[in-house]
Amino acid sequence: MLCKRIVACLDVRGARVVKGVNFTSLIDAGDPAELARRYYADGADEIVLLDVDATLEGRRARARTVEAAAERIFVPLLVGGGIRSEDDAAAMLDAGADKVAVNSAALDDPSLITRLAARYGSQAVVVAIDAARTDGDVSVWTRSASRPTDRSAVDWAIEAADRGAGEILLTSIDRDGTANGFDCEMTRTIASRLRIPVIASGGAGSHAHFVQVFTTGCAEAALAASIFHFGRTHIRDLKHHLAAEGVPVRLPC
């Protein structure tokens, strides 16, 4: 059985990591390179660096921030924010990213997924989906979760996989930053329709929440930010708890 992955997320604004609730009320959480190093040393299986202003400002993520994080870690680095073209993806990969995440640009032009997968391989292409519950359905939001669309999150995830995405990064807008637990039902609904991994995001607040999303949400990986940034737990302790609960994980040395 493949090990489940713990992913530490760095939402970056300017040169600092920030975190809020439901994508708003952001507060400072530290230096991205230092946090990347800390989480790598603590046993993170992957680091995600998301430039939260890049799409809204019409630019790609800052290469210097990516480089500074990449040189301090030896686990995969996923970078997202403002990646609208093959050139944008190339810049991030050249800066040290192992994977790139596309979101709004892929919704605008789904062929971007196929072009990136053809050039770099599906393993380097992650489609990020920000989703919220609306009238009994789960719909996709765009532009850093500031604008609703009429797209079903399930349908969009299936299309993204068919177009060549290697993973789906699924964030529950409703749960983001709340510490109330992952949306396991939404995660399971989408993961059960795909043959590629789903990274669950949004709502982690306790060790039990990770156990739930792995055992009932069908997630292959779980992403969190606040629970690590503000010292509610350490990745090392979380992994030992998961192992004790029978969840297969790579234990830190």
**Catalytic positions, written as ranges:** 11, 130
Number of other CB atoms surrounding residue 25 within 10 Å: 10
- CA separation for the pair 45, 249 (Å, rounded): 9
Please give the Cα distance from 210 to 238 (Å, whole number).
8
How far apart (Å, rounded) are the C-alpha atoms in residues 226 and 234?
11
Query: Residue 99 pairs with which residues in a beta bridge?
Result: 78
d(CA 190, CA 206): 23
The residues, ordered by sequence, that sit 6+ positions from 151 with a Cβ below 8 Å of its Cβ are: 107, 139, 140
